[in-house]
Structure 1
Amino acid sequence: MDLITARELAQKLREQINYYSELYYEKDDPAISDYEFDKLMHQLIDIEEEYPELLTPDSPTHRVGGRASNSFEQVEHVVQMGSLQDVFSDEEVVDFDRRVREVVSDPIYVVEPKIDGLSVSLEYRDGVLVRGSTRGDGFVGEDVTENIRTIRSVPLRLKRDIPFVEVRGEVYMPVASFEKVVAQQELKEEKPFKNPRNAAAGSLRQKNPKITAQRGLDIFVFNLQQIEGVQVSGHKESLDLLKELGFQVSPSYLAVDTIEKAIEEIRAIGQRRGEYSFDIDGAVVKVDSLAQREMLGATAKFPKWAVAFKYPPEEKITTLLDVEVKVGRTGALTPTAVFEPIQLAGTTVSRAVLHNQDFIDEKQIAVGDKIIVRKAGDIIPEVVAVAEHCGNPTYQLPEYCPSCHTKVVREEGEAAIYCPNIECPAQLMRNLIHFASRNAMDIDGMGPAVLEGLVNAGWVHSPADLYDLTEEQIASLERMGKKSASNLMNALEKSKQNDLSKVIFALGIPEVGEKTAAELASAFGSMEKLSWATLEQLTALDGFGEVVAQNIVSFFLEERNRVQIERLAKAGVNMESTKVKTGDTFEGKTFVLTGTLPTLKRNEAKELIESLGGKVSSSVSKKTDYVVAGEEAGSKLTKADELGITILTEEQLLQMCQK
């Protein structure tokens, strides 16, 4: 395809994709299947990859994520992104009205839901999105433009070419997306997000926009920060304008002329909160007139023209019907309460994790009891207490594994109960998911659905089997074609070059996380040396206790594990560390990196410091020895100055490394 043909086809594809996106996301009237839509998108991606000069700022391909970034640049907000004063009762709302009326007469209030997410600024020039940034401290945030572009409800081009407009919105994760992400995290036995707000914040600040694109984020725009070429006199008028421009604005906003009507709407929003597909933590009452807002002004912390009413957490009583037990990747047995369905924060809830036997014993939970359930952070169900005991004995976890019927064990000092059988079928899928995950072997495309297909086909019984797969086998799986199979084979090949630390983490040794795996790789340098490590050698390492050391020794004593490692090595998986400690110049010293260094990337500087025995922390404290500062260093540099911590340039760091 020549350039002219490619340009014409790219334009046609953009028009089609934007049209179908508008039908799907704005009018809730999809005209084609997800599969057909994805084919159009991938066709456009292929053209833009072949002809990079055809990539435009408003191309819908930004929705799937661009290149990963090593750092976020700082953005200084021209209009401060402040927070609101919280109130918790009708009396406090009335008191707010009294203070307003002391300054202005006959105020009109706008009442709207308070979305629980992450506040951001979006800037447009001549109708095109040019920058998206986080709120930060209200004065300085971070540039997350590439990640913002992946949110499908963010217009990349406005419906009118206004010279300049800046809006403030709340990026959030819908309940359905949150539950999907948490389910995947639990399946991989990763620490799940606590609530949708944490999930949204963590997803928006991903260094790799492709990960952000997969998280299903959404946004509501709730404020006009600044605008050129258009006059606006009130808040409701500004929201109406923003809706015309193509923004998804607050889900409801009602203008009222008395505080009593405002309180009625607060209650109405509270009653509707269960109907929303997203999480809210309150309602906001704002003075509508922008001129009156100027007259009211602000305190050092909050504007005087608005308050946020916060709703209390909802709790309900239900009957515990059963306790189900699942076996995790490490063999740990996790009990889950199954109770009569109840409505909490807008969704039907019938299950909640009971954590372990100690948790059950502490609350004396028995099947048949009346229990009190609430949603932690208004989203994760949890058992608070027993409201009424039925007389049955406190529930006890089974003595035998529910999957393979091996007698379970509980090590002294541990809360978890384990199935010791490493061939337990329940552990296989979770082991494979962990092995292929991003923080382990990072096999792109090897998700739970693909792994389940491979296991069901009888081709994979252990992680080492993944490297024996053929492209034909993968291509034969449901929803997998030749190109997908080829990409997955390339990802498998690429994973063989991972550092030893990732391989150690991928093995799933109990209590060995990413940090511990990195320390083991640095200390021993090869899988062979680590496999023969003694308890004495391991406990001599900084921060290694007897439990972790014993888990490592026991793992390598298992013949099955040794065979697995041999097979991985034979397949070409790297078993040597590229980050072996080369000296002790920085032994016992803690560094913090901030800003953009002249020649070293952040991870390169980190590896250099660690190779000489130092530690790199993400935050400045009294325990920090050095702060290495580059261009545009921010609050970390300021704090280091305040604490009197030594500040180094990259050149000074490199000079210290040579001593």
Structure 2
Amino acid sequence: MSATASPIPTRRARSASPGCSTTSSPPSAAGLISSCSSENSLASDPATLGEAEAANRLMRLAREIARHNRLYHDQDAPAISDADYDALVRENAALEAAFPHLVRADSPSRQVGAAPTSALAKVTHARPMLSLENGFSDEDVREFVARVRRFLSLPADEPVALTAEPKIDGLSCSLRYEGGGLVLAATRGDGAIGEDVTPNVRTIGDIPQVLDGAAATMEVRGEIYMAKSDFAALNGRQEESGGKVFANPRNAAAGSLRQKDAGITAARPLRFLAHGWGELSEPLGPTQFAAMQRLEALGFPVSDLFVRCETVEDALAHYRLIEQRRADLPFDIDGVVYKVDRIDWQERLGFVGRAPRWGLAHKFPAEKAETTLERITIQVGRTGKLTPVGRLTPVGVGGVIVANVTLHNRDEIARLGLREGDRVRIQRAGDVIPQVVENLSRDEQRAPYVFPDHCPECGSEAVAEEGEVDVRCTGGLICPAQRIERLKHFVSRGAMDIEGLGEKSILEFVELGWLHGPADIFRLAEHRADLIGREGWKEKSVDNLLAAIDAKRGFDPARLLFGLGIRHVGIVTARDLMKCFGTVEALEGAAVNENGQAELSAVEGVGPVVAEAICDFFHEPHNREALADLLALARPAAFVSQARDTAWSGKTIVFTGSLETMSRDEAKAQAERLGARAAGSVSAKTDLVVAGPGAGSKLKKAAELGVRVVDEAEWAKIVAEA
């Protein structure tokens, strides 16, 4: 075999280097999932964050990335796209680089994969199965080679040969042979501990059970996958038999391999490609290329697109060749893996964090296709947001048939100049999320699409607040798309606090046609006889619920106002409004007045945005009718401020951080009883900040403004002495 590189493949193998798996970040399930606007954008800029904010963000990133690792590696049910996951990882890395002293023990940079499940026996890997760093551009690849040169102190004219191979989207697996016989097969798991899948792997025809001439101990690592044609046939059979239909070949392969019953695995068309090795009693060869030749000679399948490249430019040329052939390959891939060819250099380079310094995964950009935008429909979310969805002439993109695509909001439609009937170019962002990237029919003369100004579900006005792109339905109380969430909020502890009326009961009563709006809660007594005897309901439990509802017919009007679910109106703002207006009817009268927004904005704690949201709510006739219906059945008591005349009367207090001896609502109620106002942000008008553990930007701003800061114990003393 020639040792020279060529952009035309001369050999096989998807190489995964010693102790390394090449699946470094989870791809997502298909669907309309929000994606990052740019692969290189960060949710938080380290240059703009203080230390407390950075620590808080690192904590949240550690939890979020760990959750997505569990979904992908443990449950085979990814919830976000590959691009979104990569963005989270890059943000974490950027923050750790800026604040190295804040790196957490549970940092994602120190983790690989996810802990194995309890369904299968655990296996400790003799050598960790780590992951590769990602690159997204040619420059990233050149910088990778430059880092290798700097680390090894190589002269400028010293060539750095690489191997290049497709990055298969499958499930990493380690095969352990002793005395030439297969004794153990394990998934990657969290990199240190995987799952024992030996009986299942023995059913895969590509994997040799006995090796002739192998070393005494040898671990071969590679990817278990399902070919595209086999995946389509499997899904066809599953659909016919009423079984589970898989989202993509990777999920199908993972679900098929990780079965308790090896008979199920045997019935699934799984395949294997070797890409590296783990523990060895003797070397396979002096180079990555020679070692992969040796594995092939022992009977392991390796990729036909595995080559040795003399220079980084040769490697990039091979990347482009694989990209061109991607759609015709029998398996899904999402990039190209490069590795330093010389094994002695690999050993000197070693590892940093969870990845080798000698390997890089060069990801592909999203695949694109052209089709026709047949219709634009509107979906109303549970918060009232109107989301436009493009209905497409179905088209294949990256092995997936795409028929629907999110258009995000009306500004995106305007930016692209989209009209029904336009020819559009779409791509799967992160190889998962369908999105329109270009309108190919801009010059054609057709009427522009008019975004609706009324909710298609209930007919209420749909508006966008100043400075926001999202259009929302204002018919919260009567909109069927928002009904469940609105009713759950109405009966919640901070609002009407109706004990025994939880989400499960609300869903049941809505399905029975008994609940359409909040007023119907006070009509449930009419259905007492029908409810008794239903599953989970006995006479005592029914009467307890009806008594709890009846007890709320006379209640604090601020709780009622908060329970209406008006955007931006929390319980503190509701109390501020009731202090001023006394009743919800009086507030309604002010809101529908032509000067209502100015009048509401004059209330302490109510700004223009909140005032506009209140006016929008009461401007909608459906909401006023639903409120009148409610007030006819449940009569709020007159609002009585619990405030006392104390030294804190008229003062503004901000609570920040984690309160350990009381809830945030209780702390705010204490402030109000002292005659103070609990605000959500620190300003020059703030008189006191109560800071618990984890306080961040608010604490920093208080220090900058010279605002007095106390801890929770000092606050308790203030309350006791007032």
Which residue is 1:548 aligned to?
Answer: 613
Tell me the residue number matched to 2:484: 433
Q: Is 2:22 aligned against 1:111?
A: yes
Q: 2:568 aligns with which of 513, 520, 532?
A: 513
- Mapping 1:379-528, distance limit 5 Å: 380-389=433-442, 390-397=444-451, 427-437=478-488, 441=492, 443-446=501-504, 450=508, 452-455=510-513, 459-469=514-524, 470=527, 473-474=530-531, 480-482=535-537, 486=541, 490=545, 493=548, 503-509=560-566, 512-513=567-568, 515=570, 518-524=572-578
- Mapped to 2, the partners of 1:358 and 1:637 lie a distance apart of 33
Distance 1:272 1:335 in 2: 33
| 1:367 partner amino acid | E
Q: Does the C-alpha gap of structure 1 residues 447 and 623 become closer, same or farther in structure 2, counting only changes over 3 Å?
A: farther
- Aligned residue for 1:112, secondary structure, equals coil
Counterpart of 2:712 in structure 1 is: 650
Aligned counterparts of 2:684 and 2:128: Cα–Cα separation in 1: 48
Q: Kindly provide the CA deviation profile for residues 305-338 of structure 1, in whole angstroms up to 9, marking residues without a partner as x.
A: 5545444234332201122345678988654321
Q: Superposition RMSD on alpha carbons, in Å?
A: 6.5
Supply the AA of the counterpart residue of 2:520. D
Pick aligned residue for 1:352 from 374, 390, 405: 405
The change in CA–CA distance for 1:230 and 1:109 in structure 2 (over 3 A counts) is: closer
Tell which deviates more after alignment, 643-652 or 334-343: 643-652
Give the distance between the partners of 1:431 and 1:539, measured in 2 at CA. Answer: 27
Percentage of identical aligned residues? 20
CA shift in 2, pair 1:587/1:367, >3 Å: same
Q: Whole-Å Cα distance in 2 between the matches of residues 606 and 171 of structure 1?
A: 41
2 CA distance for matches of 1:396 and 1:464?
Answer: 35
CA–CA distance in structure 2, aligned partners of residues 575 and 281 of structure 1: 64
Q: Structure 1 residues 261 and 395 mapped into 2: Cα distance closer, same or farther (>3 Å)? A: same
Does the 8 Å contact 1:433/1:447 carry over to 2?
Answer: no
Q: Secondary structure at the match of 1:519?
A: helix
After superposition, the C-alpha distances for 1:603-631 in whole angstroms (9 at most, x for unaligned) are: 533554576224346xx999998765557
Alpha carbons of structure 1 residues 399 and 589: separation in structure 2 relative to 1, 3 Å: closer
Task: Return the alpha-carbon distance in structure 1 between the equivalents of residues 538 and 329 of structure 2.
Answer: 44
Paired letter, 2:275:
A
More displaced 10-residue stretch of structure 1: 262-271 or 440-449: 262-271
Q: Is 2:379–2:388's contact at 8 Å kept on the other side of the alignment? A: yes
Equivalent of 1:532 in 586, 589, 594? 586
The TM-score, its normalising length taken from structure 2, stands at 0.47
1:275 CA drift (Å): 8.9
- Structure 2 CA distance for partners of 1:622 and 1:408, relative to 1, 3 Å: closer
What is the CA–CA distance in structure 2 between the aligned matches of 1:287 and 1:622, rounded to whole Å?
58
* CA offset digits 1:496-544 (Å, max 9, x no partner): 77986664344244xx2354x5412344159952330333542113352
Please give the alpha-carbon distance, in whole angstroms, between the structure 1 residues aligned to 2:547 and 2:389: 35
The letter for the 2-side match of 1:110 is S
For the pair 1:371 / 2:434, whether they are aligned, the reply is: no
> Which residue number in structure 1 is paired with residue 194 of structure 2?
243
In the other structure, the counterpart of 1:604 is 666
CA distance in 2, matches of 1:472, 1:606: 42
Hey, what does 2:77 align to over in structure 1? 174
- 2:73 touches 2:114 (CA, 8 Å); kept in 1? yes
Identify if the C-alpha distance between structure 1 residues 325 and 552 changes in structure 2 by more than 3 Å, giving closer, same or farther. closer
The Cα offsets for residues 255-288 of structure 1, whole Å up to 9 and x where unpaired, read as 3334984999997998799999xxx987888999
Higher relative contact order (CA 8 A, sep 6+): 2
Letter matched to residue 537 of structure 2:
K
Q: Secondary structure at the match of 1:319?
A: strand
Change (3 A) 1:566 1:243: same
Please state whether the residue corresponding to 2:519 is helix, strand or coil.
Answer: helix
Larger Rg: 2
2 CA distance for matches of 1:428 and 1:514?
19
Q: For residue 133 of structure 1, what is the aligned residue in structure 2?
A: none
Summarize the Cα distance change of 1:621–1:319 in structure 2 as closer, same or farther, 3 Å threshold. farther
Deviation at 1:560, TM superposition (A): 1.6
Match of 1:312 in 2: 365
Matched, 1:561 2:626: yes
How has the CA–CA distance of structure 1 residues 622 and 558 changed in structure 2, closer, same or farther, with 3 Å as cutoff? closer
**Aligned-partner Cα distance in 2 for 1:318–1:408:** 33
C-alpha distance in structure 2 between counterparts of 1:290 and 1:232, whole Å: 19
CA distance in 1, matches of 2:516, 2:353: 62
CA change 1:532–1:363 in 2 (3 A) is same
Letter matched to residue 507 of structure 1:
L
Cα deviation for residue 340 of structure 1 reads: 1.0
Task: Name the residue aligned to 2:679.
Answer: 615
Provide, for residues 386-415 of structure 1, a one-character-per-residue CA deviation record: whole Å limited to 9, x for no partner: 1224532212356887667x7978799797
Report what 2:127 is aligned to: 233
Over 3 Å counting, the alpha-carbon distance change for 1:322 and 1:140 in structure 2 is closer
Where does structure 1 lack aligned partners over 5 or more consecutive residues? 1-89, 92-105, 118-135, 155-168, 180-193, 201-218
Instruction: Give, in whole Å, the separation in 2 of the partners of 1:294 and 1:139.
Output: 35
The answer on whether the counterparts of 2:652 and 2:688 sit within 8 Å (CA) in structure 1 is: no
- Shift of the alpha carbon at 1:385? 3.3
Which sits farther off after the overlay, 543-552 or 553-562?
A: 553-562
Relative distance call for 1:505 and 1:139 in structure 2 (3 A) is: closer
TM-score normalised to the size of structure 1?
0.50
Q: 1:145-156 to 2 correspondence within 5 Å? A: none
Question: How much does 1:453 deviate?
Answer: 1.7
Change in 2 beyond 3 A, CA 1:461/1:383: same
CA shift in 2, pair 1:108/1:409, >3 Å: closer
**C-alpha contact (below 8 Å) 1:365/1:386 kept by paired residues:** yes
| Contact 2:521-2:549 within 8 A present in 1 as well | no
Q: Is the 8 A contact 2:384 2:474 kept in 1?
A: yes
Summarize the Cα distance change of 1:220–1:367 in structure 2 as closer, same or farther, 3 Å threshold.
same
Match of 1:323 among 368, 376, 381: 376
Instruction: Please list every run of 5 or more consecutive structure 2 residues that lacks an aligned counterpart in the other structure.
Output: 1-5, 8-16, 29-53, 90-111, 130-173, 177-185, 201-220, 225-272, 277-287, 293-304, 308-314, 494-500, 591-595
Name the amino acid aligned to 1:504. L
Partners of 2:640 and 2:331 lie apart in 1 by 53
Give the whole-Å Cα distance in 1 for the aligned partners of 2:88 and 2:640.
33
Structure 2 Cα separation of the partners of residues 501 and 401 of structure 1:
28
Picking from 625, 649, 656, the partner of 1:592 is 656
Question: Matches of 1:301 and 1:452 in 2, distance apart?
Answer: 50
The equivalences for 1:113-128 within 5 A come to 113-115=24-26
Per-residue deviation at 1:549?
4.5
- Offset at residue 371 of structure 1 (A): 1.6
| CA offset digits 1:355-393 (Å, max 9, x no partner) | 565543443222211123345566554433312245322
1:326/1:151 CA distance change after superposition, 3 Å: closer
Equivalent residues in 2 for 1:167-206 (5 A)? 174=77
Contact 1:435 1:441 survives alignment (8 Å)? no
Q: Is the contact made by 2:382 and 2:482 (CA closer than 8 Å) also made in structure 1?
A: yes
The residue identity in structure 1 corresponding to 2:114 is V
Shift in alpha-carbon separation, 1:382–1:622, aligned structure 2, 3 A: farther
* 2:483 match: secondary structure: helix
Query: Kindly tell me: are residues 484 and 309 of structure 1, through their superposed partners in 2, closer, same or farther at Cα, counting changes over 3 Å?
Result: farther
Equivalent residue letter for 1:111: T
8 Å contact kept, 1:111–1:254: no
